[in-house]
């Protein structure tokens, strides 16, 4: 009759930070560089430009409206800015 193999008890592993020293170090293979351009493409970063809304235009419009109202009150022609009461 064949002998039965004894089962080994599994030891509880302690959680360790980092790698254990018992592992074999793998040798890194050096790649030969081919002459010429590499096929890898560099990633281009896209910069997002934020569009600033110009608020100056709105202010100008308000000023124009105010100006017009003043000119009307004083009976002055808006386009030529000539006094209408004289004509």
- 60-81 average pLDDT score: 72
| Confidence class for position 84, pLDDT limits 50, 70, 90 | low
Confirm if 83 and 76 have CB atoms less than 8 A apart: yes
The encoded tokens of residue 79 equal 């386009």
Does the pLDDT at position 18 exceed 80? Answer: no
Angle at 59 between CA 58 and CA 64, to 5 degrees: 100
Confidence of residue 38 (pLDDT cuts 50, 70, 90): low
């Amino acid at each position: 009759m064949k002998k039965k193999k004894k089962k080994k008890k599994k030891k509880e592993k302690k959680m360790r930070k980092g790698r254990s020293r018992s592992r074999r170090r793998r040798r890194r293979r050096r790649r030969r560089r081919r002459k010429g351009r590499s096929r890898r493409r560099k990633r281009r970063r896209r910069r997002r430009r934020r569009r600033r809304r110009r608020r100056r235009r709105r202010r100008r419009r308000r000023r124009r409206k105010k100006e017009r109202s003043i000119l009307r009150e004083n009976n002055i022609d808006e386009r030529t800015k000539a006094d209408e009461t004289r004509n």
